[in-house]
Amino acid sequence: MSKPLILVSNDDGITSKGIRVLVSIMKKLGEVVVVAPDSPQSGMGHAITIGETLRLSEEEIFEEVDAYKSSGTPADCVKLAKHYLLKDRVPDLVVSGINHGSNTSISVLYSGTMSAAIEGAMEGLPSIGFSLCDFSSKADFSHVEYWVENIAKQVLENGIPKGIALNVNFPPKRNEPIKGIKVCRQADAKWQEEFAERYDPNGRKYFWLAGNFVNFDKGEDNDEWAIANNYVSIVPCQYDLTAHHAISQINKDWDWTDLRED
């Protein structure tokens, strides 16, 4: 049997430490093709390039792996792979990461890492976004390799429901081994933003976004709890943002009968 075809992308850029770790793991499981941004794209969310040129070039950066860097966003990279580079083939798995920093809770909406995975899900492909909850430049990825490999194996063997991407977050390396996996929900938390007002050398005002992450969730069935307690969190995510539970409530409580355009 032929090896599974695995597409690898990320948002930290093609030269990041996390993608090197991810590629080395995926090479054990199948044929790997990398399409990743040529520079960091953190916080880009699901942005795509529509008003500028989009460039793609081959890079000899990973041993025995076809790799390409793109001037576009993470979502662009998956689109280019699916509809241009691999237009005559169908990836068996799309993996994104390993992100250098957390993508738990509300961060999934801003995450370029997860947007690459969600773009894969939009194309009907089994997709996973991997993130390490450690922003240090010296972050150690060694403790996540076993888990990345086995989660990817589970997806290759068992699949994922159509339209779903897995948001997988790992705790930082601690003195004790990771306890296991929690398949859970997204925590009720948010960023409380602050804008620092500053001035450039020419006296022109600019702003620098800062803020703090605040967790309002007291439950023990969410991704923030899992990470805090040294578990791997897996949150199944969907791109259909419809609040289905609100449809019946709005139809019940709102009165449309007298609304007519003359």
What does each of the 262 residues of the chain score in pLDDT, given as a tens digit?
A: 689 999 999 999 999 999 999 999 999 999 999 999 999 998 889 999 999 999 999 999 999 999 999 999 999 999 999 999 999 999 999 999 999 999 999 999 999 999 999 999 999 999 999 999 998 888 999 999 999 999 999 999 999 999 999 999 999 999 999 999 999 999 999 989 899 999 999 999 999 998 889 999 999 999 999 999 999 999 999 999 999 999 999 999 998 887 777 6
Residue 181 resides in a domain: yes
Write down the pTM of the prediction. Answer: 0.94
Residue 157 resides in a domain: yes
CATH number reported for the structural domain that contains residue 68 in this entry: 3.40.1210.10
Residue 251 resides in a domain: no
Q: Which residues are annotated as a binding site?
A: 11-12, 42, 99
Going by C-alpha positions, the residue among 207, 126, 148, 124 that lies closest to residue 26 is 148
Predicted local distance difference test score (pLDDT) of residue 137:
81
Residue 261 resides in a domain: no
| Count of domains for the chain | 1
Q: Which residues are annotated as a binding site for a divalent metal cation?
A: 11-12, 42, 99
Residue 204 resides in a domain: no
Residue 196 resides in a domain: no
Domain that holds residue 156: 5-187+219-241
Residue 116 resides in a domain: yes
Strands 56-59 and 66-70, bridge-based pairing: antiparallel
Residue 192 resides in a domain: no
Angle 17-26/145-158 helices, nearest 10 degrees?
50
Predicted local distance difference test score (pLDDT) of residue 130:
98
Nearest-angstrom CA–CA distance, 28 and 79? 25
